[in-house]
A and B are shown apart, each in its own frame.
Chain A
Amino acid sequence: MTHIQTLETRDLAGSVQNGGCGECQTSCQSACKTSCGVANQQCEKCGEEA
């Protein structure tokens, strides 16, 4: 393998400019109800653009 392979990921620093609309789901409302994780939340804007 090559020494370093980089996965395609969302540019977090870039999302400072285009994020923060707040339309995404509340963190623990959908399934767990007993812990907080935001990693599995979807960005509403990204979904619209896709």
Chain B
Amino acid sequence: MIHCYQLNGYNIVLDVYSGSVHVVDDLAYDVISMYEGRSADEIVAAMLEKYSGQPEVTESEIREVLESVEDLKAKGKLFAPDAYEHLAFDFKARNTVIKALCLHVAHTCNLTCEYCFASQGKYQGERALMSFEVGKQALDFLIAHSGGRRNLEVDFFGGEPLMNWDVVKRLVAYGREQEKLHNKKFRFTLTTNGMLIDDDVIEFANKEMHNVVLSLDGRKEVHDRLRKTASGKGSYDIIVPKFQKLVESRGGKGYYVRGTFTHNNVEFTKDLLHMADLGFTELSMEPVVCGPDEPYALTEEDKPILFEQYELLAKEMIRRKKAGNGFTFYHYMIDLKAGPCVYKRISGCGSGTEYLAVTPWGELFPCHQFVGDPKYSMGDVWQGVTNTALRDEFKQCNAYARPGCRDCWARMYCSGGCAANAYHATGSIKGVYEYGCDLFRKRIECAIMMEIANAGLEPANKE
């Protein structure tokens, strides 16, 4: 399967199953687009007709392009066959180990963000803080079920995890002790709204947290519209200086300033550029996850605007990189040379199998987005995964599991997509969240185009 598209003056041909990326001129673009199912003579005739006004496009020129196509095909870089489907099921069907936990250390929050999928941290349940004993058992459970995996990920999540900071610190200390005994390496991460960041948090996070995710929606008026304190005041002025202080002292360690965009700020590029102008360079911005009836839900009418925004963002990022003030956007990070292997690309996100969420009470769910839904309770950190039927259902979630993905060129980049989004949009974890897919495909097109531009290749057509 190939995917041909034009963006920012480039003609781009993506070969889905080899992962190859080709930048082509107009003639090659047309030849490759009509290559399958036609003879060489048919293609030559069609091209001579199409380019009749351009005498430089001769039959020998067209046949030269055809030879190049044949050559790339023989090398497995164009029209490569799909040889991975059996691997998707074999790989997941074997005994899986657990390598990542999302620890919900606080089902409570000091903000009342209207769009919060966790309903202000409570996940449709009671407010609660995780005890050290539950968290310790969760780490023991992870180590015990991680098999030969060395790198183990633990995200301190909520609600707002800093509302249970002492337990977070004790769990990190316990993890550091245990990793030596079991030859493991914990990568702790923290996702926070920033309200409680102080010097102690900064020092500890910069020493122990592999990554820190800082929630900021962008411009003050956009951020404050939905991210409010209990008294209804915006949180922007409180958190931005704290985030800046934390990032400045982070010494190059990983972080993301992460925002959510909604129907209220479809021009989210302005918010990302605002974050960049505040001095942040590692940025992420996600479409809101909510029901279609919410006033801030993204609409069909928003979609073309969002596409345009993604393109604008890509072009501005190329410009800023050249000017020496570039920044990273999470969804435009794509490593064409050292990216994920085929197994990673086809085996799904790992929710419910390699990745589990733990509630303050030690209950297990397939991921943070299923927490609070009793149908998706999987067991607990003492008994382990007892709902093995559910685990097996998640094992079957992969790039080949959804009929709706069969003809999609992007499935080697999304691995079949997010099970929670699929479930919320369609009622099935094997459904397809079409709106999210449309945005995802646009992002990948932009990301690949940026790789081409940043490699210094000239576009076939100047825009």
Contact = CB atoms under 8 A, between A and B. Distances in A.
Interface stretch (B16-24, B104-112, B130-138, B305-313): B16-24
Contacts of B187: 25
Nearest to A2: B25
Given A3-B24, A11-B18, A23-B151, A31 B336 contact: no
A39 B460 contact: no
B418 A39 contact: no
Q: Is the interface of A mostly helix, strand, loop or mixed?
A: loop
A26 B100 contact: yes
Most buried by B among A18, A29, A41: A29
A11 B19 CA distance: 7
Contacts of B76: 11, 13
A50 B18 contact: no
A15 B342 contact: yes
B342 A12 contact: yes
Most buried by A among B24, B260, B452, B457: B24
B22 A7 contact: yes
A5 B457 contact: yes
A19 to B, nearest CB: 3
Interface in A1-36: 1-13, 15-16, 18-20, 22-36
Contact of B27 (A3, A20, A30, A40): A3
A5 B22 contact: yes
Given A5-B457, A26-B354, A50 B338 contact: yes
B412 interface: yes
A36 to B, nearest CB: 4
A46 B65 contact: no
B341 A40 contact: no
Interface of B: 13, 17-25, 27-28, 64-65, 68-69, 72, 76-77, 80, 83-84, 87, 91, 97, 99-100, 102, 117, 149-151, 153, 155, 157, 187, 189, 191, 211, 213, 254, 256, 258, 260, 284, 286-287, 289, 330-345, 348-350, 354-355, 367-369, 412-421, 436, 440, 443-444, 447, 451-452, 455, 457-458, 460
7 contacts: A4-B69, A8-B337, A23-B150, A25-B153, A36-B419, A39-B339, A43-B340
